[in-house]
A and B are shown apart, each in its own frame.
Chain A
């Protein structure tokens, strides 16, 4: 592949990934509001578009057209820099995340990944560890007691939970003996006894749990959302922010969520490797979408509300169409590779994201001393023990 081709392919990949990521971030918020609403027996966003589907668009328009207010008492430079730092560092991690295996479209031979670093995993940890400056700076520059407390809590919390997070990440690295995401996924291919996937999840179940808990804290999500605890700190570090600056903080939180779930998928859940051996796993997406379509069709034929006669059959048509695309792709090897990899990777990420939202709808918030004690007295020793046990096993089994 010559240099020109390389630039073209890279540009196309960056455009696709950026577009998909930003759309996902907008719709993640819709999904979150819907899921929480249904957990709490409400309907959630319902007015803008069918089932509130156009709500994210309306929100974006609202946030862009709002007046960007800069309070008079803030430190202007840092006040404006903070959301920029937060969102940039949150979005940059996606560049080393692989979505699928090597593919070949026409003459072009490329990976479904923007770039593969030999130290990809360290890169993500490094970027997420600087990401805290966005929150800390925003809280400090706002020149407001509540914001400052939010920023302080955030930096203390990040430092505390970074340790168990890094230790939990180190254990699968020892098993696979690599720092690159690609090799990590290829290490997890294959099956024990022909049907149990060789994912790191099974030997490293403890590490996975610690990673997820620390991930909640790193993304400032409930039950660790102390930096923005609204009933004590108004809105914590982003109290003084409005319009696009506020949107940047919001986007950074969701982007961090996507990164954490993607890293968990790659390190512990085998990336894009299906959970069943090859020929059977190919029928799963067809079945999932076909069943979804048939359920929608059934409810469309027995409508509970007036509009269901039109909306549900249309949904069914879309689902059955996707099922048909997956079915047809079985006869085109390259299309099959791409679609299957995407289906399993996105499926795992979505399940983990659902867990994030589910926890938010269920659990109350920690108190601050509980949060610290939990990190240092419980999570840290456990991840340390897990790492020691893993390294002992690796030392005994290799050569």
Chain B
């Protein structure tokens, strides 16, 4: 059952990721990206990282992507004109090269992976309690540095958006 769910949502994630690149229309691409994020959230959930999954949906799919979609709509970006003329020879060669490239990547990944069992479903302790405790003990310094970084970004945004006096 878990394997089935994994395959289904991993498949959706890959499909959406490919669709994101293939689509010519910005809105369609943005929606595909939301699909990728949603299926990734499901995969996190399967690993036991329930808080991470919820945060993924709330922050990425629910806030950042809404801003993306907002900007695309505001600029009224239309479909990109496809100007792709290639001879038959180039196409066949491209397909061949792509297959070789994917094979090479999978070979490298297989070689680089440790020879253990891998991660089992539900092994992570991803409740809000665990995440919070880790964040404020082990990873306190990175956490604080990140918040300073975000603060700098906010100040920068305010300076850019400020009206000229």
Contact = CB atoms under 8 A, between A and B. Distances in A.
Interface of A: 78, 117-119, 122-123, 125-126, 129-130, 132-133, 136-137, 139-140, 148, 151-152, 155-156, 158-159, 162, 166, 179
Nearest to A151: B73
User: Interface majority SS on B: helix, strand, loop or mixed?
Assistant: helix
Cβ-closest 8 pairs across A and B: A129-B62, A122-B54, A126-B57, A155-B70, A126-B58, A119-B50, A119-B54, A140-B73
Contacts of A130: 34, 38, 57, 61-62
Interface string B120-139: 00000001100000000000
Given A132-B66, A155-B67, 11 more contacts: A78-B31, A125-B54, A130-B34, A133-B31, A133-B66, A137-B27, A137-B69, A152-B70, A155-B69, A156-B70, A166-B58
Contacts of B67: 155, 159
A283 to B, nearest CB: 40
Interface residues of B, number: 22
Contacts of B66: 129, 132-133, 136, 155, 158-159
Contacts of A158: 66
A122 B38 CA distance: 15
Contacts of A140: 27, 69, 73
Contacts of B34: 130, 133
A140 B70 CA distance: 10
B85 to A, nearest CB: 27
Contact of A129 (B27, B61, B76): B61
Interface in B36-50: 38, 50
**A78, A125, A130, A148 — most chain B CB neighbours (10 Å):** A130
Contact of A119 (B31, B69, B74, B128): B128
A178 to B, nearest CB: 9
Contacts of A125: 54, 58, 62
Contact of A122 (B58, B63, B74): B58
Nearest to A129: B62
A179 B128 contact: yes
Contacts of A179: 128
B63 A162 contact: yes
A29 B55 CA distance: 34
B127 A118 contact: yes
Nearest to A77: B28
A139 B31 CA distance: 15
Contacts of A126: 54, 57-58, 61-62
B51 interface: yes
Nearest to A140: B73
Dominant secondary structure of chain A at its interface with chain B: helix
Contacts of B57: 126, 129-130
Nearest to B76: A148
Contacts of B128: 119, 122, 179
A120 to B, nearest CB: 10
Nearest to A81: B31
Contacts of A117: 50
B77 to A, nearest CB: 11
Nearest to B62: A129
A24 B147 CA distance: 45
A78 B27 contact: yes
13 contacts: A118-B50, A119-B51, A119-B127, A123-B54, A125-B62, A126-B54, A126-B57, A130-B57, A130-B61, A133-B66, A148-B73, A152-B73, A155-B66
Contacts of A152: 70, 73-74
Contacts of B69: 133, 136-137, 140, 155
A151 B69 CA distance: 10
A137 B27 CA distance: 9
Nearest to B50: A119
Contact of A159 (B38, B63, B76, B127): B63
Given A118-B50, A122-B51, A126-B57, A162 B62 contact: yes
B153 to A, nearest CB: 16
Nearest to A126: B57
A166 B69 CA distance: 21
A140 B59 CA distance: 22
Contacts of A155: 66-67, 69-70, 73
Nearest to B53: A119
Contacts of B74: 152
Contacts of B70: 136, 152, 155-156, 159
A132 B70 CA distance: 11
A130 B128 CA distance: 21
A132 B31 CA distance: 13
A139 B69 CA distance: 12
Contacts of B63: 129, 159, 162
B21 to A, nearest CB: 18
Nearest to A159: B66
A125 B61 CA distance: 12
Contacts of A148: 73, 76
A192 to B, nearest CB: 27
Contacts of A118: 50, 127
